[in-house]
Amino acid sequence: MSTDTGKAQHETTRRDFMRYSSAALAAAAFAGTAAVKSVHAAAPNDTKLKIGLIGCGGRGSGAANNALLADKNVILYAMGDMFPEMVEESLGKLKKSPAADQVAVDDKRKFTGFDAYKKVIECCDVIILATPPAFRPTHLRAAVEAGKYIFCEKPVAVDGPGIRHVIESCNIAEKNGVVLVSGLCYRYENKKRETIKRIQEGAVGDIITIETVYNTSGLWHKGRKDNWSEMEYELRNWLYFDWLSGDHIVEQHIHSLDKMMWVMKDTPPLKATASGGRTVRTDAKYGNIYDHFNTLFEWENGVRAFSSCRQWENAVTAVYDNVYGTKGVAKVQTHEIVGRDGSNWKWESAEKDDMYQNELNALFNAIRKGEVINNGDYMVKSNLAAIMARMSAYSGQTVTWDQALNSELTYFPEKLELGDVAKRPVPVPGAAKYF
Ligand SMILES: NC(=O)c1ccc[n+]([C@@H]2O[C@H](COP(=O)([O-])OP(=O)(O)OC[C@H]3O[C@@H](n4cnc5c(N)ncnc54)[C@H](O)[C@@H]3O)[C@@H](O)[C@H]2O)c1
């Protein structure tokens, strides 16, 4: 098994660090979702494109399937994962999918271990990044520097150094005309696009408050085997370790916070004040993450957002985002706007609107037309909002956008190898800084 030095991969220079002030980030000139002309020629429809999947779990396999369905002239060519059986399991599923005839992964192009990503990137045109998020900054940089077309799952980083590394990669992508589509999937759902466009155009008047909730049940756990090292155990149960997942506020609630940021036209909030802890999922098998967070986000213009997320078994669940304004209320998750004047709007179209398919369709459409999509701007900002809230909950302090952005704290291990890894404690608010 090869090794890689961890921390060095995320290091940024002082000069880069200075570029990431909130003002610079707010003004960052990413192309956003609008398609512009690529510096690369279009890949004509008769050019067969090779897809490489890095991270062959549930989402990676789903994204690979969507990619194959998006374009008849693409093949799944290489797969990379930490563990060989994950590659086989994913391949088995894809070979039974409607796009099975586009699956062309030879044994020579199944790669495993921490370095698998390098080999996949080397031999493919289109790269799907779907490992646990801690690895995304490194994998994204490699794909961007190699000039590949990229689908990048959320989250893209779990800490300040990771976020800054990703910002650099997005800047390089923009400079080089690299197509970079983010897995913040709601941005590719037509219903959400229409609802949020209406909010941004003033359908609820001036926004006063946003309420964003992701209260769900628990998630999977893979148990522990005697022959697994601590590193292997944590990788296989990555959700429960802050250094790998960023905690569930970053890993899952990011979708809600992304909608919140979208409504706010991706203007960074000034600060977050959060609380959280573990009250249900207290067993050591759940690593060191919390099971609930409540956060107040505050913007310069006085808007406040209240966010709640939790993962509790046998408790009431709810996923919604309400935007309260001077003229009415928008219910983003159900695509409704209720005006104080009695007006009512609701998305009624019966059109097929599968956001997971839409995002891969957009990627291949851009590639074939020689256009660039670079979702870097919102991909980074929504992620940083989630990290900022986690830092606040862990530390018990209010954390500003700039503090989160410029934070030097990382829990990424010094050395990546399947052996021991220092066990991370459950954060105790007030006991340490955590940002
Ligand atoms: N957009 C969405 O709606 C959505 C939904 C689910 C998951 N996701 C995201 O997709 C990513 C993957 O989630 P998942 O549910 O598929 O998890 P998963 O555990 O099913 O898959 C992750 C895979 O990555 C592999 N892996 C771990 N470390 C690796 C490394 N260093 N190099 C290569 N492979 C490595 C694991 O062995 C596993 O097979 C996460 O970032 C998650 O947040 C997004």
Q: So what's the pLDDT on residue 85?
A: 98
| Ligand 1, atom 6: closest residue by C-alpha | 59
CA 175 to mean position of chain CA atoms:
22
Q: How confident is the model at residue 121 (pLDDT cuts 50, 70, 90)?
A: very high
User: Of the residues 9, 56, 59, which should be mutated to test ligand 1's pocket, given the most ligand atoms within 8 Å of the CB?
Assistant: 59
Q: Which residues of 50-72 are buried (b: 16+ CB within 10 A; e: fewer)?
A: bbbbbbbbebbbbbbbbbbbbbe
Q: DSSP secondary-structure letter at 5?
A: E
Number of residues that make up the chain: 435
Ligand 1 atom closest to 185 (CA): 1
Q: What is the structure's pLDDT at 98?
A: 95
Mean pLDDT of all residues in 346-351: 93
Partnered with residue 272 across adjacent β-strands are: 297, 399
Q: Ligand 1 within 6 A of 57 CB?
A: yes
Alpha carbon nearest to ligand 1 atom 38, residue: 57
Q: Residue 85 has which token pair?
A: 């059986």
Q: Band the pLDDT of 11: cuts 50, 70, 90.
A: very low
CATH code for the domain defined by 190-349+384-404: 3.30.360.10
Q: Is 59 in the pocket of ligand 1 (CB under 6 A)?
A: yes
Percent of the chain at pLDDT > 70 equals: 91
pLDDT for the residue 41: 61
CA–centroid distance, 130 to ligand 1, in Å, is 5
Quote the pLDDT of residue 18: 36
Decide: 82 in ligand 1 pocket, CB within 6 A.
yes
Question: pLDDT tens, 390-425?
Answer: 999 999 999 999 999 999 999 999 999 999 999 999
d(C-alpha 250, C-alpha 394), whole Å: 13
Residue nearest to atom 31 of ligand 1 (CA): 114
Residues 191, 198: Cα–Cα separation, whole Å: 11
The 8 Å CB, 24+ separation contacts for 330-335 are: 330/195, 330/198, 330/199, 330/203, 330/204, 332/192, 332/195, 332/196, 332/199, 332/259, 332/263, 335/191, 335/192, 335/194, 335/195
Please identify, by atom number, the ligand 1 atom nearest to the C-alpha of residue 136: 41
Res. 47: pLDDT tops 60: yes
Cβ burial of 88 (10 Å; 0-12, 13-18, 19+) is middle
User: Which tokens hold the place of 146?
Assistant: 């190699």
Report, in this order, helix, strand and coil percent for the chain, each rounded to 5. 40, 20, 40
Smallest CA-to-CA distance from 34 within 193, 254, 171, 192 is with: 193
Which pLDDT tens digit goes with each residue over 172-213? 999 999 999 999 999 999 999 999 999 999 999 999 999 999
Q: Is the CB of 53 under 6 A from ligand 1?
A: no
Q: Is the CB of 9 under 6 A from ligand 1?
A: no
- The yes-or-no verdict on residue 25 having pLDDT over 80 is no
pLDDT band at 40 (very low <50, low <70, confident <90, very high): low
pLDDT, position 46:
82
d(CA 130, CA 148): 15
Instruction: Indicate the average pLDDT of the chain.
Output: 92
Q: What whole-number distance in Å separates Cα of residue 345 and Cα of residue 338? A: 7
Distance 344 CA to ligand 1 centre (A): 40
Q: What pLDDT is stored for residue 31 in this prediction? A: 37
pLDDT surpassing 90 at residue 20 = no
Task: Return d(Cα 163, Cα 148) in angstroms, integer.
Answer: 20
Name the residue ranges covered by the structural domains of the chain: 4-187+357-377, 190-349+384-404
What is the structure's pLDDT at 433? 86
Contact predicate 84/59, CB 8 Å: no
Question: pTM (2 decimals)?
Answer: 0.93
Q: Which residue has the higher pLDDT, 7 or 330?
A: 330
pLDDT at 97: 96
Give residue 45's pLDDT: 80
Please check whether residue 299 is in contact with residue 261, taking contact to mean a CB–CB distance below 8 angstroms.
no
**CA-wise closest residue to 307 among 275, 334, 333, 264:** 275
Q: Which CATH code of 3.40.50.720, 3.40.50.620, 3.40.640.10, 3.40.50.11540 fits the domain covering 4-187+357-377?
A: 3.40.50.720
359 lines ligand 1 (CB under 6 A): no
Atom of ligand 1 nearest to the CA of 238: 19
- Centre of ligand 1 to C-alpha 329, Å, is 35
| Residue 142 one-letter amino acid | A
Label residue 29 by pLDDT band (50, 70, 90). Answer: very low
